Structure 1
Amino acid sequence: MFSTTKLERTGLFLASFIAVLSPSLSAVALANQTCYYPDGSIAQGDKPCGNGTDVGCCGSGAICLSNSLCMDVRQPNTLARSSCTDKTWNSGNCPNYCLQDTSFNKSGCSIILFSYLDSTAEYCCNNMDASGNTPICANNYSKFQIPDSSIVPGYALLSEYTTVSNAMSSTGSNPNGDHHATIGVGVGVGVPLGLITLASIA
């Protein structure tokens, strides 16, 4: 039989173990949150861009940005509004852009650079219309601006990297000797990161 002292020690150990484990379990649960498009449908394949309760999401092939938008590396320099862990989209942390058209709300929506004048960038949702004398946003939707952003490492495409510098340095060597894999990371991650650095998102 256990003595009272042994039982107390066992109880303290279990309590300490649970206390240490609980934050980890919470982080895992938050990382596995479901992402939703503005119409409430599930964004299959999207992953949260943070561990908060309400955060923007991006696809596994995109880079999360701090303004809740996504940079798709399959289309360099293409921004997109994707999904959010808040199904209602009432949270200010959701990427509340391009919600004026119901056709945009059942999927992600590209965000196109319309102009960049006097250090001010303006964007359009989905497309531009240049059929007239003066280009406008498609469907005559209003142009809009986007806050400056930074790359959010550790999520979506950069889920295996905790810092941007780690992502960049990973192109330099490969402990497994797989040269092709190293080049793939360099092209898929290094190039878009460089483009983002050179062209600030404003």
Structure 2
Amino acid sequence: MLPRPSWHFFCVLVLCEALVRGEGTCYYPDRVTVASADVPCFSGDAGSPCCSKNAICLSNGYCMSIIQPFGLSRGSCSDSQWSSASGCKDVCSSVTNVRNGGCSLPLLRYDGKEALYCANSIVSNGTDLACAGGAPPFTLPDASIITNKAILANASCPLSSVSPTAPPTPVNTSSPTSNPGDIPTASQDNDHENRKVAAVGAGVGVPLGVLFVCSLAWALFERNRRLSMLQSMSRQAVTTQEQSDRIPMMKFRVANQNIIPPQELGVHS
């Protein structure tokens, strides 16, 4: 017979559940489904918007994916009740079939001043483009990138966020033993890039120059050898002609001058 679990066992279970459902747990808008692949973007007790570990957290509470499909999305929230204090905004609430998962935020149109987005998808209404399901389009506030959360959790950034519209506030990241001259400046970075470009150019140009010089030297060598061969052949021809001029003409002589030439035989009667 198995022993009955004691109250200590139930206390451990409750404690483990509390730890699992702590700040690191994120929920979709249905308030039940746990987004196991999401992490909170902000720190605090009031809750935080959550994004995938493969996405960039934005300060406006939304996410920017860096894997397919690219784009903005509404993730989850570490506050299971999605209260206003958490900063989690469910702009996809009109699309009920995505309340238990993420929701993409495609751009509907941009007129140069205002950008309008849709929840989950865009369709054609016969004459123009509109949000799916007749949902009204909406705007999103500007945002900066949270550099120490989600995909950028291990990034070595000195700033907690990067804004595209405002210059970042300088942060002193030097240690007590560091030298201010050790911190690279913009000019040093430019010099480093210029040296890299020069090194690449030298690496490409030097072999080409050596190849050109070798080709030119080989061409000159072949030309000189050909001229030497022609001059040698010309000298041999002259020498042969001179030798033939010095050889005396030989006269053919009869070996025996006493030989009687053939004569007709006399006719005897």
Q: TM-score range by the shorter chain?
A: 0.5 to 0.7
Question: What's the TM-score once normalised by structure 2's chain length?
Answer: 0.48
Question: Residues 91-130 of structure 1 correspond to what in structure 2 (within 5 A)?
Answer: 91-92=84-85, 93-130=87-124
Structure of larger gyration radius: 2
In structure 1, the gaps of 5 or more residues are 1-28, 167-171, 173-202
2:43 match: 51
- Name the SS for the 1:125 alignment partner: coil
- Name the SS for the 1:79 alignment partner: strand
Contact 1:31 1:50 in 2 (8 A): no
Q: Shift of the alpha carbon at 1:133?
A: 1.1
Pick the aligned partner of 1:90 from 62, 66, 83: 83
**1:4-25, Cα deviation, whole Å (9 max, x unpaired):** xxxxxxxxxxxxxxxxxxxxxx
1:38 match: 29
Q: Shift of the alpha carbon at 1:104?
A: 1.5
What is the alpha-carbon distance in structure 2 between the residues aligned to residue 52 and residue 162 of structure 1?
Answer: 22
Identical amino acids, percent of aligned pairs: 37
Q: Closer, same or farther in 2 for the Cα pair 1:164/1:97, shift >3 Å?
A: farther
Count of residue pairs brought into register by the alignment = 141
1:134 match: 128
Give the root-mean-square deviation of aligned CA atoms.
Answer: 2.8
What is the alpha-carbon distance in structure 2 between the residues aligned to residue 117 and residue 32 of structure 1?
Answer: 40
Contact 1:151 1:164 in 2 (8 A): no
Contact 1:153 1:163 in 2 (8 A): yes
Say if 2:136 is the partner of 1:145.
no
Letter in 1 for 2:140: I
Contact 1:58 1:64 in 2 (8 A): yes
Q: Closer, same or farther in 2 for the Cα pair 1:98/1:43, shift >3 Å?
A: same
- Name the SS for the 2:59 alignment partner: coil
- Name the SS for the 1:89 alignment partner: coil
Contact 1:30 1:52 in 2 (8 A): no
Question: What's the TM-score once normalised by structure 1's chain length?
Answer: 0.63
What is the alpha-carbon distance in structure 1 between the residues aligned to residue 121 and residue 69 of structure 2?
Answer: 16
2:67 match: 74
Whose strand fraction is larger, Structure 1's or Structure 2's?
1
